[in-house]
Structure 1
Amino acid sequence: MTMAIVVGFVPSPEGRAALTRAIEEARLRGRRLIVLNASRGDALVDSRYASSSDWDAVKTQLEESGVEHEVTQHVEAKDPADQILKVAAQTNAELIVIGLRRRTPVGKLIMGSAAQTILLEADAPVLSVKAAREDEK
Structure 2
Amino acid sequence: MKILVGYVPSPEGEAALAAAATEASLRGASVLLLNTSRGDSYIDARYANADEMAAAEAKLREQGVEVTIQQAVTEGDVAGALLKAAAAEDVGLIVLGLRRRSPVGKLILGSTAQRVLLESPVPVLAVKVPSPHD
**TM-score, structure 2 length as denominator?**
0.88
Query: 2:19 corresponds to which residue?
Result: 21
Structure 1 residues 135 and 88, CA gap change in structure 2 (3 angstroms)? same
2:86 maps to a residue whose letter is A
Q: Return the match for 1:114 from 104, 112, 115.
A: 112
Structure 1 spans left out of the alignment, 5+ residues: none
1:1-137 mapped onto 2 (5 Å cutoff): 3-41=1-39, 44-77=42-75, 79-107=77-105, 112-136=110-134
Query: Identity across aligned pairs (percent)?
Result: 51
User: Aligned partners of 2:106 and 2:36: how far apart in 1?
Assistant: 24
Q: Is the 8 A contact 2:41 2:47 kept in 1?
A: no
User: Aligned partners of 2:116 and 2:125: how far apart in 1?
Assistant: 10
Q: How many residues align?
A: 134
Structure 1 stretches of 4+ with a deviation exceeding 6 A read none
User: Aligned partners of 1:126 and 1:78: how far apart in 2?
Assistant: 21
User: Aligned partners of 1:125 and 1:110: how far apart in 2?
Assistant: 26
Q: Secondary structure at the match of 1:85?
A: helix
Structure 1 residues 55 and 128, CA gap change in structure 2 (3 angstroms)? same
2:119 maps to a residue whose letter is E
Q: Secondary structure at the match of 1:82?
A: helix
Displacement after TM superposition at 1:104 (Å)? 2.8
Q: CA RMSD in A?
A: 2.1
Structure 1 residues 74 and 105, CA gap change in structure 2 (3 angstroms)? closer
Q: Secondary structure at the match of 1:123?
A: coil
